[in-house]
Amino acid sequence: MTTIEALDPITNPPSTDNAKHLAHRYQEVRQTSLRLAEPLTPEDMVAQSMADASPVKWHLAHTTWFFEAMVLREARPDYDWYCADFHYLFNSYYNTLGKQFTRSQRGLVSRPGVAETLAYREHVDQVMSSFLLGAEEAELARWAPIVEVGLHHEQQHQELLLTDVKHLFFHNPLFPVYRQWPADATSVTSPPLGWQHFPKEIYSIGHQGEGFAYDNEGPRHETLLHAFEIADRLVTCGEYLEYMEAGGYERPDHWLSEGWATVQELGWDSPLYWFRRDDEWWHYTLAGARPVEAEEPVMHLSLFEADAYARWAGARLPTEMEWEAAAAGEPIIGNFVENEVFHARAATAEEGKGMFGNVWEWTSSSYAPYPGYRPPEGALGEYNGKFMCNQYVLRGGSFATSRSHIRATYRNFFPASARWQFTGLRLAKDST
């Protein structure tokens, strides 16, 4: 490993405002990861509940490795790995950078333990700070965008940390509490559903200009949308319960063929985490087991369930283009991870249609490149592009997303059968 002192001395130029600002944001994001892990024991942080999820300890190490591999090793030729084996252990899927430890066995790696993982983080944070604050303007200009990717990458893993802890704890019959339900929680009522009209028109879609965005959000381009309507709020648990009571999980009528096959094979009869207790529907939440509240947005749905519900309701899912057209210009306010509520709730009056936060919204769009899209050169080219197959796009962020991480053009994606993310839906329909 390289100690900070061992690195080539830098003629420490006075740090620029840009440098200070980036270093500050770096510390902030990195500390948020630790704060999210605070309620967890070392034992909690080792276990892996399925191949799709990762141990918390792995999230903390992998996001650190990201800065080593993408920034320090590239920008500072004399930088040595903190531990050479970590390069293999904590590389997620970057073939450009070498072979990776088997994903489904991440829960078997009890060492490095939590303490050593935190030491690893601290070491890299110090080198990174030193690097950022000591970088010359040109160097900073070159590496700041990669550091920015690393921070957004870490914010993605902060959300995954929460989805994965929830999935893990659900398997424990003791139903551990991640965070107590806030004593002052006030429930918000969902208003009657209304529709917003959008005319047939050429819309501009995708990111452009100031601010961070992933490569997959561009290039911004024109697309012709046919007239459509979009709902002014999310579908609620109460509405979804009506669908269940109407035999939603018992009849193939509204399901995609693969969706119905999945229902049969996996025995689904409700959203993930729901269960019956005393003749009522309850669900496991990050605050433990609680009765399902009718007014809350429904979540932990697969695309299959979201799609079947929408058909049953005489509507459909929006495409991602429609969603983005409807979100363009909306203020980014809502129930985010900064609120520390750790659960979805109905949008407040001021949050309008509530297109940001609370739950990720399934769209009917298969995840595909925008016209003219080219992945970046090098390892970062594997970040997004190679997953553009058999995945569907989700939009808007959730209560576990950072407000500073989301925007109208943001494209999240998961397989149609995924349910452990905080995933719900908003209805759309053709305009007649």
Which residues of the shown chain bind a second copy in the complex (CB under 8 A)? 41-47, 49, 57, 85, 88-89, 93, 95, 101, 105, 107-114, 168-169, 171-174, 176, 202, 221-224, 226, 252-253, 255-260, 303-304, 307, 364-366, 368-369, 371-372, 382, 386-390, 416, 430
Q: How far is CA 82 from CA 74, 88, 130, in A?
A: 15, 12, 16
CA separation for the pair 236, 190 (Å, rounded): 8
**Cβ closest to a second copy, residue 101 vs residue 212:** 101
* Nearest distance in Å: CB 415, a second copy: 8
**Cβ closest to a second copy, residue 222 vs residue 269:** 222
CA separation for the pair 63, 30 (Å, rounded): 9
CB-based burial label for 333 (10 Å; 0-12, 13-18, 19+): middle
**Cβ closest to a second copy, residue 47 vs residue 230:** 47
Q: How far is CA 216 from CA 95, 147, 382, 412, in A?
A: 19, 18, 11, 10
* Nearest distance in Å: CB 163, a second copy: 15
Tell me if 27 sits within 8 A of 125, measured CB to CB. Answer: yes
Contact partners, residue 105, CB within 8 Å, separation at least 6: none
**Cβ closest to a second copy, residue 69 vs residue 416:** 416
* Nearest distance in Å: CB 382, a second copy: 8
Indicate the SS3 state at residue 248.
coil
* Nearest distance in Å: CB 47, a second copy: 5
* Nearest distance in Å: CB 349, a second copy: 33
Half-sphere exposure of 224 (CA within 13 A, CB side): 0
* Nearest distance in Å: CB 272, a second copy: 15
Length of the chain, please? 432
**Cβ closest to a second copy, residue 212 vs residue 373:** 373
**Cβ closest to a second copy, residue 122 vs residue 258:** 258
CA separation for the pair 118, 277 (Å, rounded): 40
* Nearest distance in Å: CB 338, a second copy: 27
Indicate the SS3 state at residue 412.
strand
**Cβ closest to a second copy, residue 6 vs residue 261:** 261
Tokens 């309850």 belong to residue: 282
